[in-house]
Structure formats: C-alpha cells, structure tokens
C-alpha cells in the first residue's frame, strides 16, 4: 500500500491514535524564524520537501558527512530553538538508526544530526525484536525515512557478555541473541581479545540486517523497490569514526 494512502495524520484506528505523538501531519516548516536561521548560516530542520528530495544513497551520504564533521570537531551550526519550533507539528527524518545503548555511542551526536533529522532506537547489542521492527516500519513506511542503519561498535559490552555466556536476569535472553555471531567467528573466545570481540560485533550487525529483511516483509519490499536502503556500520569508540559495511 502506498505510504501516501495512510495520510500524514496517520488515522489508522486506535493504533494510529497511539502513534499520533510521533506522527508527521501536514505542516510547512518555512516559517519566518526558520528562514532567519538559514540566513544566519544555521542548518534548518528536515522538512517535507527536503525529505522527499532525498534518495537512500543521499541519506547515507548525509550520515557519512555528519560523522566526518564529528570526527573533525567541526559540527554544523544549529539553532535548536528554531528546530524545536519547526518540528513541533511535524517530523520528516531521513533515516532510522538502530544502535547500542552504550553511553559512548550517542547516535545523533556521532552523526552530527539535529532535532527532527533521524529516528534513533537503542538497545544493548543493537539487536532487533518485534517492537523495534515495528518502530522501523513506522519510520520508513509511514514517516518517510529513506535509510535503515544498524550501528554496532567496538569494545561492545553486550558482545562480551555473549562471548562469556553472561547470565543475569533479563540480560541472559538478550545476549543469547548474539550467540549466533559468536559461533560464526573463528578465534580465541576471550573478552580481552579485542580483534575477536570486534569481529563478533560486526558479524552481529550483518546478522541483524538479515533478520530485519527476513522478519519484516514491509522493509524488505521497500528495499527491493529501492525506496530505502538497509545498511550496517561499525563505530570505533577510540576514534569516533563510523565505517559503513
């Protein structure tokens, strides 16, 4: 079903009402404050026109360029007050990033993105489940995001937990989802073996991408029809660099 058929107000029965707080209704961001911010060299928030004009490849470039600015210490200038006003009635993010809960990997920061630019979902080990799949389907199918990124990182504690067969409450079931990646990578299974830990983290990213495609016909179809891209990436906690894989 075309995304436009749902409408920007997402009147999808009770479920649609529950999502109304994060919907993207009709709204023009071309207000006087926004225009003034642009005149002063500030990056404006994403709006309907800029989102519609982006291809999945262009969305990926925006993230790559943002990370380059982050690493160089030259972030884009933003008027957050203006971005709050511009996105108060609508949001038009260009990407959704599934990342780890690790405090060293704040998604919007490492990609130098502002308010309303990207959806971010965070869970230990950047694993995926039904709730996260539904969130990504909302982001892409209903809200117009052009890119899905699964972002792993070096020295991941959840990966180390899987390697060491950690057992602790609900954490046990979570790290077990990373076990297939542990089994897939050869090497000394030691949490102090940085190369092995990072290899498992990268393999986990690849496996999560395949799980997204397998468990979400909505996203798989959008990818096949080139409406979106689904890609993986690894963040280096020692350098700040994101490497797309």
Question: What is the tens place of the pLDDT at every residue in 185-218?
Answer: 999 999 999 999 999 999 999 999 999 999 999 9
What local confidence, expressed as pLDDT, does residue 205 receive? Answer: 99
DSSP count for the chain of H helices, then E strands: 12, 5
Q: How many domains does the chain have?
A: 1
What average pLDDT score do residues 152-166 get? Answer: 98
Q: Which domain holds residue 97?
A: 3-244
Which residues on adjacent β-strands are paired with residue 95? 118, 147
Look over the chain and give the mean of its residue pLDDT values, rounded to a whole number.
Answer: 89
Q: What is the pLDDT of residue 41?
A: 85
What's the CATH number where 174 sits? 3.40.1050.10
- Per-residue pLDDT of 78-133, as tens digits, reads 999 999 999 999 999 999 999 999 999 999 999 999 999 999 999 999 999 999 99
pLDDT band at 27 (very low <50, low <70, confident <90, very high): very low
What mean pLDDT do residues 232-238 have?
Answer: 99
> CB neighbours of 35 closer than 8 A, spacing ≥ 6?
none
């Amino acid at each position: 079903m075309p995304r436009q058929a749902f409408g920007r107000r997402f009147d999808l029965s009770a479920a649609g009402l529950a999502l109304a707080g994060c919907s993207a209704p009709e709204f023009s961001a071309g207000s006087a404050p926004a225009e003034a911010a642009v005149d002063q060299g500030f990056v404006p928030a994403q709006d309907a026109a800029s989102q519609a004009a982006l291809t999945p490849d262009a969305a990926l470039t925006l993230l790559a360029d943002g990370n380059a600015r982050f690493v160089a210490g030259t972030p884009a200038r933003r008027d957050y007050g203006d971005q709050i006003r511009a996105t108060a009635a609508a949001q038009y993010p260009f990407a959704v990033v599934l990342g780890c809960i690790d405090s060293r990997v704040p998604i919007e920061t490492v990609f130098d993105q502002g308010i309303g630019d990207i959806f971010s979902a965070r869970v230990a080990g950047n694993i995926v489940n039904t709730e996260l799949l539904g969130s990504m389907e909302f982001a892409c199918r209903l809200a117009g995001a052009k890119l899905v990124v699964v972002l792993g990182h070096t020295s991941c504690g959840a990966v180390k937990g899987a390697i060491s067969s950690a057992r602790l409450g609900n954490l046990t079931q979570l790290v077990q989802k990373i076990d297939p990646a542990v089994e897939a990578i050869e090497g000394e299974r030691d949490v102090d073996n940085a190369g092995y830990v990072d290899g498992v983290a990268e393999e986990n990213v690849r496996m999560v991408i395949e799980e997204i495609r397998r468990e979400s016909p909505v996203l798989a179809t959008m990818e096949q029809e080139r409406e979106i891209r689904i890609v993986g990436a690894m963040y280096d906690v020692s350098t700040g660099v994101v490497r797309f894989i």
